[in-house]
Structures are given as C-alpha cells and as structure tokens.
C-alpha cells in the first residue's frame, strides 16, 4: 500500500494557524507553503486569511498543566490505568476518537513527555482514563506517581481513517485490537455506539493479558484469546470478514500487525472501510521535530502527528 496525506487534523481549530504557517510549511494551505496560488480543498474558514488577521502570527500553543490523579489502578505487573481530573473544556475536546495527550512525571523535564491515547471520557465529572504499559525509561518514571501528572493537549490524530469512522451510522463494525491498542479502540467504540452501530470485537490480549474492552461495554466478543500474529489469527479474521457483512474494520496494534491483517482486509476492501491506530513515533505533536515523518509514493514527507493518512494500493 502507498500513503497519501489527507489534510491537517488541526485545521480550523483553536490551534490553527500553527508554527508550520510561520515557516511556510502549512499542511493544508498552499499559500502558507510558499505558493502564489490557492489549491486547497479546505472547506472551513480560510487559514491564510486567519494568519493575516493574526498579523502573520500563529495561535497560542497547547499549554502544560498539572492535573490530579483521582485513581491509579495496576492491572498485572506492567499496566496502569490512570483516572485524571481535567478542566471541563479539555474533557469535551478529548471525547473525539483518536484523541491523545502528552503526559509525564512532574519531577522530570519535558524530554519525558509520552503521547498516550485517551481511553475514556466522562464529561459530567470532567475525568478521563488512560492506560499506560510500563516498558522504557519514560513509562518507568510514572510508576511512583500517585498525586498528579503534567499533561499537554488536546491532540487528535491517534487514528487514521477518522472521517470513515465518523461517517459510520447504523452500520456493522468489526473491531480488532491487540494489547494496549484496546485503549484507543474503547473511545472509538463509544463513539460508534452513539451512532447506533452494531459492533463485534476480536481481541488479542497481548503481553498485558487483559481484556479492557469488556470492562466498558457489553459488545459481542467473537474471540478474546486469539493470537493475531499467527496464521490461525489471520484465518479467524478472514473467516469473520467472509461470513459477516461489515461496513467498517478497525485495526488496533503495531505496524507489523497491521501489515499482516491488512493483507487479509485487501480482499474485502471494496465493501468495507478501514480505520487503524497511528503508531508512528510522535515526539512534539506539532509537526516540528520530524520524528513522526513518513513518505508518500513521490518521496514527499508527511507529518503523521497532524496529517490524516489515506492508504492506497
């Protein structure tokens, strides 16, 4: 499959225009890419006009804030579920599927920032839930934290295919997720259920050995012990796609896993849409550092922390 950029997730938001506009590198606006013409397909308020209205300056960046840990729960030896109390406005912004924030232990500098998907949002209590799997130095720094975390957000490009997900209404959806990728799947399922979609789930518990999804929803679980990396797992997915008329397939897992499962999906792509987790290395979240860069067929760099990506044959 080849990649194609499909617009900036921040376009038209309160964080647009951003640093990229000041540096003639806007993802959406041709004029703010240094061109002398406009050929964008953006349907909102003109980004170029907004940039001039702001006297050729970016809008304010997302700010760090310290938030209270309402609850911290260990599931096994490596998985922590944090419940955080956040400002009401931020809770509302983070309820969108694909939302994530940067978190860190307040004792350390910003080099310890970790992008973490939002798993659950309760607007009424202004609380969010996130799942953190302990692996390296950054996550180990969170083991001792009990009172508060430093966070930065909101960010929204944790999923590719968001438009297809949001277009799903009264349809049939298959959610396939492995390990910690169940966390972004939960927020997506919540949105899909609000649109009266019928949802089936196939889970590979991975190293966490936990079924997180069943803690939040009463959905039809086809299998919660499948090994998606195995040939048997691929066969089970193919069987499910063959025997059921799904309109949308959600794949949550590593790029390696996605490549294996997309090989199965390709046979059914003419009758269903695809949503997948964004697993690229995200460091700044603002399209500046380049750690998340991938390339299209022509070698054009795509900043995947902000750019929606379409995958084509």
Identify whether residues 51 and 70 lie together within a single domain: no
Q: What is the pLDDT of residues 227-283, one digit of tens each?
A: 999 999 999 999 999 999 999 999 999 999 999 999 999 999 999 999 999 999 999
- Residue 3 has a pLDDT of 66
pLDDT of residue 312: 63
**pLDDT per position as a tens digit, 81-124:** 999 999 999 999 999 999 999 999 999 999 999 999 999 999 99
Clarify whether residues 259 and 171 are in a common domain.
yes
> Above 80 in pLDDT, residue 219?
yes
pLDDT of residue 263: 92
Burial class (CB in 10 A: 0-12, 13-18, 19+), 276: buried
91, 56 Cβ separation under 8 angstroms: no
Neighbours of 175 (CB within 10 A): 26
Do residue 163 and residue 271 come from a single domain?
yes
| Residue-number span of the structural domain to which 34 is assigned | 2-61+286-312
Q: What pLDDT is recorded for position 259?
A: 93
Considering the domain architecture, whether residues 146 and 75 belong to the same structural domain is answered as yes
Q: Quick one: which H or E segment has residue 60?
A: none
Q: What is the CATH number of the domain that holds 170?
A: 3.40.50.80
Count CB-CB contacts under 10 A for residue 144.
8
H-helix or E-strand containing 248?
strand 248-252
Residue 11: predicted pLDDT: 94
Tell me: do 93 and 192 sit in the same domain: no
Q: Same domain, yes or no, for 74 and 131? A: yes
Residue with tokens 């960010």: 155
Q: Are 175 and 272 members of one domain?
A: yes
Same domain, 135 and 186: no
Work out the pLDDT band at 300, boundaries 50, 70, 90. confident
Of 116, 138, 155, which residue sits at a domain end?
155
Task: Kindly report the CATH number assigned to the domain that includes residue 127.
Answer: 2.40.30.10
As a whole number, mean pLDDT of residues 25-53 equals 92
For the whole model, what pTM was predicted? 0.94
- Per cent of the chain over pLDDT 70 is 98
Exposure string for 207-228, b = 16+ CB within 10 A, e = fewer: ebebebbeeebebebbbeebeb
CA separation for the pair 261, 158 (Å, rounded): 19
| Amino acid 222: pLDDT | 95
Which of 308, 299, 301 is closest to 274 using CA atoms?
308
Question: Do the Cβ atoms of 181 and 205 come closer than 8 Å?
Answer: no
Please tell me whether residues 205 and 98 are part of one structural domain. no
């Amino acid at each position: 499959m080849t990649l194609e950029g499909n617009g900036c997730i921040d376009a038209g938001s309160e964080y647009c225009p951003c640093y990229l506009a000041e540096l003639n590198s806007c993802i959406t606006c041709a004029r703010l890419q240094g061109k002398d013409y406009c050929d964008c397909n953006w349907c909102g308020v003109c980004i170029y006009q907004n940039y001039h209205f702001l006297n050729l300056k970016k809008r304010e960046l997302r700010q760090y804030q310290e938030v209270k840990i309402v609850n911290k729960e260990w599931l096994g030896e490596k998985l922590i579920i944090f419940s955080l109390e956040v400002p009401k406005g931020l809770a509302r912004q983070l309820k969108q599927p694909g939302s994530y924030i940067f978190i860190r232990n307040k004792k350390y500098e910003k080099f310890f920032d970790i992008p973490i998907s939002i798993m659950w949002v309760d607007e009424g209590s202004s609380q969010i839930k996130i799942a953190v799997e302990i692996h390296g130095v950054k996550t180990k720094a969170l083991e001792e934290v009990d009172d508060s975390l430093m966070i930065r957000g909101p960010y929204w490009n944790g999923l590719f295919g968001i438009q297809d997900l949001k277009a799903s209404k009264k349809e049939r959806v298959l959610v396939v997720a492995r390990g910690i990728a169940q966390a972004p799947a939960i927020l997506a399922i919540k949105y899909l259920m609000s649109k009266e979609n019928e949802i089936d789930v196939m889970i590979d518990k991975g190293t966490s050995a936990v079924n997180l999804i069943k803690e939040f929803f009463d959905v039809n679980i086809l299998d919660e012990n499948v090994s998606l990396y195995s040939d048997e797992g691929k066969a089970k997915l193919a069987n499910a796609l063959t025997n059921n008329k799904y309109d949308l397939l959600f794949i949550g897992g590593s790029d390696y896993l996605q490549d294996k499962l997309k090989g199965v999906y390709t046979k059914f792509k003419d009758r269903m849409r695809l949503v997948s987790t964004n697993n690229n290395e995200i460091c700044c979240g603002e399209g500046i550092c380049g750690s998340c860069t991938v390339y299209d067929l022509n070698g054009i760099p795509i900043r995947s922390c902000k750019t929606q990506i379409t995958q084509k044959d």
